[in-house]
Amino acid sequence: MDRLRERAEVTSEPQEAEAAVAATGLQYRYKDGVKGAGPARAALSGVDFAVARGEIFGFLGPNGGGKSTLFRILATLLAPDAGEVLVFGLDLLRQASEVRRRLGVVFQNPSLDLHLSVRQNLACQGALYGLRGADLASRIGAGLERFGLADRREQRAKELSGGLRRRVELAKALLHNPRLLLLDEPSTGLDPGARRSLWETLEDLRDQGVTVLLTTHFMEEGDRCDRLALVDRGRIVTTGVPSDLKAEIGGDVISLTGREPEALARQLGELHPELSPGVRDGVVRLERERAHELIPRLFEELPGRIDSVTVARPSLEDVFLRRTGRALAEDDEVGS
Amino acid sequence: MSPLAVWSLARRELTRFFRQPSRVMGAAGTPLLFWALLGSGLSSSFKMPGGPSGMSYKEYFFPGTIFLVVLFASIFSTISVIEDRREGFLQGVMVAPVPRGAIVAGKILGGTLLATAQAGLALLLAPLAGVRLDAAAWALSIAFCFVLGFGLTSLSLAIAWPMRSTQGFHAIMTVFLMPLWLLSGAFFPADGVPGWLAILMRLDPLTYGVATLRSLLAPIPEGPGAPSGAVAAGGPALGITLLFVAGMFLLALAVSRRRDGALPG
């Protein structure tokens, strides 16, 4: 049944071959006093990207880098100052209502009415999408079943734990079978188990043809995306498959600690100019193929200067650092 | 419009209301407390102007109390829009394919129904004020309270929509909405007040609603020396009230479309 309906919807989409989302030249500048203190600052300065149908696409970047602004624009909550967004070939700015029909949105802050029961929350949501009667009831039943909420049906939302609320949130966003699911920092506040089951759900949805677009500042989450855009200071730094992005960094990442990291890095740079060592958070970092051959030499060349050595496969964190000169998790430390 | 969405959002207001007992108490209790304490307290010292006209202050004050019930209920129900925004519910509604007007209409309809129901219950206490109501007068008064409630909820929503904190809303309520009620002839008649006050009372759009409600509930007896209320009830007063209600609804629609950067529905 669902599959048939799905197919019927697909054929009625305009311009079948279009990308799920295509954005060009997006710009947004916060107006004075609207958000944060200080003068107007650019939240987005010229963002382009394209998301293919049926992929999980992530925006990975530090908090305050422009991801949330991007999310709000895609969710039709914020009009950009300049630029264009096509969602399934529909102009987001001029056909917002048409886009909204195809869009499921999961906010970082829950959008549940805490005084209503789980079922009432879903019923209210359904009505907003024109669903009613037996169709609505069966969709609610299926949604509750899918997310293991059947026994919570009549419970008020405020009595649920954070993880359960997020599941209701997902059931709510999926009630009208959206073709595009938009999630803002979906893992924030979830325990590892809930995080795992969230990702299983997202992968299921993708396999059913739903396009999933999410923002995150966790590199582990970035790793699970089919494709990824690194976002920093209002720009997309690079886009690609996570493993390709990491392959840009040849070989391994070596981290050294010592008493005088700056001096250590300088000395290393003199000995091995091709390594271009850098220092971050008191750790000297360099990238190098076949690190195991280099490391004994470093100890010989710099006797007593090195306290510890770590070798790791490059992570998205390393990619981000190399591309922007900044750490991914910098802001997070303050926040949590 | 989308009737299904409007009704669903309105019904949500009703459900929420009955699940917050403190709101039920506050909304229904405050005006009745006003009436019981102020009405009783002032009755002994307050003589209706113009000598004996056969109307006690409690009786005079009763339509004003009903009006206050409607006003309070409208105000308290629209505070929820600030909570909706803070708790995140509103953003979920904003991304749904529902015109902004339907969201506003749903909220206003919910608030209006709550206000009307509370006014209807308060009207049952009419005999305590010495006001005799037959079924027709009761029904007519309730219908008029619905109209009033629609206008007052719209006005409150227009104020509450752009607000980010309930404290700000309380402040506006005290300096703006309460004076509107005090000046409406609900609390004291226009007879014998200083000229500037009489002018303010005539400028207050609520005055015309109070006059109409008074004519339905406890008409001031005719005759020489009887208090005249602020303005005469009748066609013009009803017309001004309907204009006020329509104007406030348009204002709420306009405010909801203007006060954020979101795309239109």
Contact with chain B for residue A92, Cβ under 8 A: yes
What would the mean pLDDT of A216-238 be, rounded to a whole number?
A: 92
Residues of chain A contacting B96 with CB distance shorter than 8 Å: 100, 125, 128-129
Sign of CA dihedral B146, B147, B150, B156: negative
* Of the candidate ranges A19-33, A111-125, A170-184, B195-209, the one whose mean pLDDT is the lowest: A19-33
Average pLDDT over residues A78-83: 92
Confidence of residue A104 (pLDDT cuts 50, 70, 90): very high
Is it the case that residue B165 has pLDDT exceeding 50? yes
Backbone angles phi, psi at A94, to 5 degrees: -100, -20
Max Cα separation, chain A? 78
In this prediction the pTM is 0.83
Q: How far apart are CA A276 and CA A261, in angstroms?
A: 14
Question: For residue A3, is pLDDT > 60?
Answer: no
The rounded distance, in Å, linking the Cα atoms of A119 and B60 is 47
What local confidence, expressed as pLDDT, does residue A248 receive?
82
Is a pLDDT exceeding 80 seen at residue B264? no
Q: Is the pLDDT of residue B223 over 60?
A: no
Q: Chain A window 139-168: which residues touch B at a Cβ cutoff of 8 Å?
A: 156
- List the single residue in A with minimal CA-CA distance to B81: A113
In angstroms, the separation between the Cα of residue B88 and the nearest Cα of chain A is: 4
Q: Is the Cβ of A189 closer than 8 Å to some Cβ of chain B?
A: no
Instruction: Please give the pLDDT value at position A292.
Output: 82
B96 touches chain A (CB under 8 A): yes
Q: Which residues of B touch A75 (CB under 8 A)?
A: 91, 95
* Contact by Cβ (8 Å): B73, B115: yes
Residue A38, pLDDT above cutoff 60: no
Q: How confident is the model at residue B251 (pLDDT cuts 50, 70, 90)?
A: very high
Q: How far is A322 from chain B (nearest CA, A)?
A: 35
From B12's Cα to the closest Cα of chain A, the distance in A is 8
Q: Do A111 and B88 touch (CB under 8 A)?
A: yes
Judging contacts by C-beta atoms under 8 Å, the chain A residues touching residue B2 are 130
Q: Does B14 touch chain A (CB under 8 A)?
A: no
Kindly determine whether residue A113 and residue B16, on different chains, have CB atoms separated by under 8 Å.
yes
Helices (H), A176-284: 192-207, 219-224, 242-247, 261-271
As a whole number of angstroms, the distance between CA B115 and CA B105 comes to: 15
The whole-number pLDDT of residue A187 equals 87
Yes or no, beta carbons of B16 and A115 under 8 Å apart? yes
- Side-chain half-sphere exposure of A55, counting CA atoms within 13 A: 16
Contacts of B19 in chain A (CB under 8 A): 115, 156
The tens digit of pLDDT for each residue in B36-87 reads 887 777 777 666 655 445 677 888 888 998 999 999 889 888 988 999 998 8
Closest CB to B5: pick one of A92, A116, A127: A127
What strands, in cross-sheet order, belong to the sheet with A42-51? A42-51, A21-29, A82-87, A90-91
Chain A positions in Cβ-Cβ contact with residue B164 (cut-off 8 Å): none
The predicted structure's pLDDT at residue A163? 85
Per-residue pLDDT, B260: 59
Question: Distance (Å, rounded) from C-alpha A216 to C-alpha A72?
Answer: 14
Q: Worst-scoring range by mean pLDDT, A29-38, B108-117, B160-169?
A: A29-38
ipTM: 0.84
Task: Please tell me the predicted confidence (pLDDT) of residue B148.
Answer: 96
What's the whole-number mean pLDDT along residues A145-150? 92
Question: A311 pLDDT band (50/70/90 cuts)?
Answer: confident
Is residue A122 within 8 angstroms of chain B, CB to CB?
A: no
Residues of B in contact with A177 (CB under 8 A): none
Of the pLDDT bands very low, low, confident and very high (cuts 50, 70, 90), residue A289 is: confident
Q: Does A102 touch chain B (CB under 8 A)?
A: no
State whether residue A308 is helix, strand or coil. Answer: strand
B11 contacts: CB under 8 Å, gap ≥ 6: B110
Tell me the CATH number for domain A248-327: 3.30.70
